[in-house]
Amino acid sequence: MKHHLGLIKEPSYETRVAFLPEEVKKLIDKYEVKISVEKEYGIQLGIPDTDYTAAGASMSSKSDILQHANLILSINDAIGEQESIPPETSFIGIYNPLFFPERLQKYKNQHALVYSLDRLPRTTLAQAMDVRSSLDALSGYKAVLKATDYYSKVFPMITTATKTLKPARVLVLGAGVAGLQAIATAKRLGAIVHAFDVRKAAGEEVRSLGAKFIEIEGNKEETNAGGYAVEQADDYKKRQQDRINEQLLATDLVICTANIPGKKAPILVDEDGVKNMPSGAVIIDLAAEQGGNCSLTKNNEIVNYKSVKILGDSHLSRELPDAASQLLSGNFFNFIKHMIEKGADNDLITASQIINQENT
């Protein structure tokens, strides 16, 4: 079947753009895909419609695109409850379906096919389409820069004729993609960095970045968890909490990134821990959307607890919209290319398919 790709404008809160003119041109030139783009599609990045038409796409209205394209691409939810679409229209996006299954009901009602790229397996072949790695890397980096805005002391040791300012002490919780990027960024700024993860393998990566890995014995790992963390036993959680609370006594900045797919994020920083942190400490909680790693976190809010600031934001890559759009556009291009070259029955494509004809 010849593909007709529709690019739908993102909701007003979204700063990123899913598909850039560069990838539009590549898809049209190489695969002869017809591409329709909603008017003012790239406006949040300052990309004029003429860049999309120059790349070979045509501009159209949302309703027209939803009626005629067979493949719809958007980062967030593309359709409202009332919008009608022809059955078997395919949607590609990032839906976090394990944690927000209710988002999918309207697609099921309309007999759509839905592909969520955050469900791709973390394999070598899927790396070029891995939207989570792209966004988490940027969020981890931005989390540290964000912390510098709210922290009123310095990251590196600064020696002057009158006094020496001590370097900041950073604790990174969760050493996956976002955590490792946060460690690397904090190290570059001259901070003393500690990190903790329940996966033993993360220790080696943490140490290779020059940070100290906090080891807690008795963790649970499952070989069939695809490299992800699993929920831990209660006695382990207790030891983990004690060890983290001890570390927090001398920690100025915490970057929280720990997640378990589809589950509420583990609480790693409790009120007692925050209470005892040094004055002026800052916590950036990237796990906020799934409940947060700090018990005081509020998603998309800044909480002031005594002198500690706690920022909850799981989408910090939105504050780097240009960089994030470049990576996303490349990921989506590689996914569509793979779909065209290998067909929709290919293993990677079906792994990301969260609604298919059987479960509509």
Binding residues for ligand NAD, rule: CB under 6 A, are: 122, 127, 130, 132-133, 136, 173-179, 196-199, 202, 227-229, 232, 257-261, 266, 268
Find the catalytic residue in 122, 199, 239, 243: 122
Cβ atoms of 193 and 211 within 8 Å: the answer is: yes
- Residue nearer to ligand NAD on the CB measure, 31 or 228: 228
Find the catalytic residue in 228, 236, 239, 295: 228
Cβ atoms of 43 and 13 within 8 Å: the answer is: no
- CB 234 → ligand NAD: shortest distance, Å? 12
219 to 171, 254, 340: CA distances (angstroms): 19, 22, 42
- CB 215 → ligand NAD: shortest distance, Å? 12
- Residue nearer to ligand NAD on the CB measure, 111 or 199: 199
Active site residue 207: no
Active site residue 41: no
Find the catalytic residue in 90, 133, 314, 317: 133
128 to 142, 149, 337: CA distances (angstroms): 22, 32, 11
- Residue nearer to ligand NAD on the CB measure, 20 or 183: 183
Cβ atoms of 39 and 61 within 8 Å: the answer is: yes
Active site residue 133: yes
Q: In 21-76, which residue ranges form alpha helices assigned H by DSSP?
A: 21-31, 49-54, 62-68
Q: Give 74's contacts (C-beta < 8 A, 6+ positions apart).
A: 7, 8, 9, 10, 18, 91, 92, 93
Cβ atoms of 294 and 266 within 8 Å: the answer is: no
CA–CA separation, 332 and 129 (whole Å): 6
Active site residue 122: yes
Active site residue 295: no
Find the catalytic residue in 63, 84, 127, 357: 127
- CB 132 → ligand NAD: shortest distance, Å? 6
Residue nearest to ligand NAD (CB): 176
Catalytic residues: 122, 127, 130, 133, 228
